[in-house]
Structure 1
Amino acid sequence: MTRRSRTYDWDARPLDPALLTHLPGIEIIRMIARGDLPAPSMAATLGMGLLLGEVEEGRVVFEGEPGDHVLNPLGTVHGGFAATLLDSAMGCAVHTILPAGAGYGTVDLKVSFLRPILRDAGMVRVEGKVINAGRTLMLAEGRVVGRDDGKLYAHGTCTCFVQAGK
């Protein structure tokens, strides 16, 4: 039996709830991308992160690097890796257009897997963008694309419920 191990660390600073109530969503997402606020621990667990120059109103880009730690029994990258990247990118795109104090949650997530991501695929880019911004429901779409080969691996949509700020 061959065993491997993987270690990683993450920024475990507690988030100041007052910031969330006083800053618009885009500022919060930009602060996370810059490292001024801690990224969610899930980002370190999966090896993904926001690209600072790719955060704008209604749109964000993540990058993630698949590897042996996210394989399914067939030896290809588990679909949950792409689904998590898509959910994160689309949710953060929604977050960028929220006013201070507002929150959101994913109501539904649909992912279409177009081709397998292989363990040596290299970095993938995931763009999330809002395609309809309603008062209580927002719709976003996302694409998982190989950074080097430009191949489209997965496409997704999500609906997010928005709770107004105070």
Structure 2
Amino acid sequence: MQSPSRDTLLAQWQDQEQAMRTRLAGPGSLPLAQVSELTPQEFFEGIGNGELPSPPIGTLLDFVPIEWSSGLFVFQGTPDARHYNPLGTVHGGYAATLLDSCMGCAIHTRLQKGQGYTTLDLRISYVRALTADSGPVRAEGKIVHLGRSTALAEGRIYDVDGRLYATGSTTCMILQPRG
């Protein structure tokens, strides 16, 4: 089977992003008590279908969720000059935030109702600079290990041509329900 052409794949990525942007509600957050009443699937589906507010960080850095399933989460964004550092490339914090988000959300997809998480450790390796010419990029996070008290995930940022921009790994603490 032949792989889709670059133009076809780029059009698919752009269509997926636009479809998600159309569905997302405005930015906001929910009280922790309300989030803890939802399963991870209910939480992410609620965001993805516009029933729950979209996370404000996505608005600030202009990225959206594209795909999620048990142990996997993918965000997409298109870096531009708003994200530049003084040296004329996208600030490393953009990639770090995308990776922290996709890896943390991948972990969240596997938690039990009422559990939460927080990042304990975040490691990023930059492979090449992101610029406004990079086009859309995807940040894909996958769980490596989910334990009782900690979880580990890996992530990578790549473009439509499969070029790797950064990789990351995280350790998250699993927070148990209160009471």
Runs of at least 5 residues in structure 2 that lack an aligned partner in the other structure: 1-24
Corresponding residue of 2:37: 22
Relative distance call for 1:48 and 1:130 in structure 2 (3 A) is same
Relative distance call for 1:87 and 1:70 in structure 2 (3 A) is same
Q: Which of these residues, 74, 77, 84, is aligned with residue 61 of structure 1?
A: 74
Using structure 1 for the length normalisation, give the TM-score: 0.87
Letter in 2 for 1:113: Y
User: What's the CA shift string for 1:53-76, capped at 9, x where partnerless?
Assistant: x21011111001100100011101
Same amino acid, percent of matched pairs: 45
Runs of at least 5 residues in structure 1 that lack an aligned partner in the other structure: 1-9
Counting only pairs closer than 5 Å after superposition, residues 30-69 of structure 1 correspond to structure 2 as 30-51=45-66, 54-69=67-82
Aligned residues, how many? 154
Tell me by how many angstroms 1:23 deviates.
1.5
Using structure 2 for the length normalisation, give the TM-score: 0.81
Asked if residue 160 in structure 1 is aligned to residue 172 in structure 2, the reply is yes
User: What's the CA shift string for 1:42-89, capped at 9, x where partnerless?
Assistant: 1001000101xx210111110011001000111011111000000000
| Structure 1 residue ranges (4+ consecutive) displaced by more than 3 angstroms after TM superposition | 16-19
What is the distance in 1 between the residues matched to 2:70 and 2:29? Answer: 26
Asked if residue 112 in structure 1 is aligned to residue 148 in structure 2, the reply is no
Query: Which structure features the higher share of helix residues?
Result: 2
Asked if residue 11 in structure 1 is aligned to residue 26 in structure 2, the reply is yes
Relative distance call for 1:25 and 1:72 in structure 2 (3 A) is same
Q: What's the Cα RMSD here?
A: 1.5
Corresponding residue of 2:93: 80
Tell me by how many angstroms 1:16 deviates.
5.3
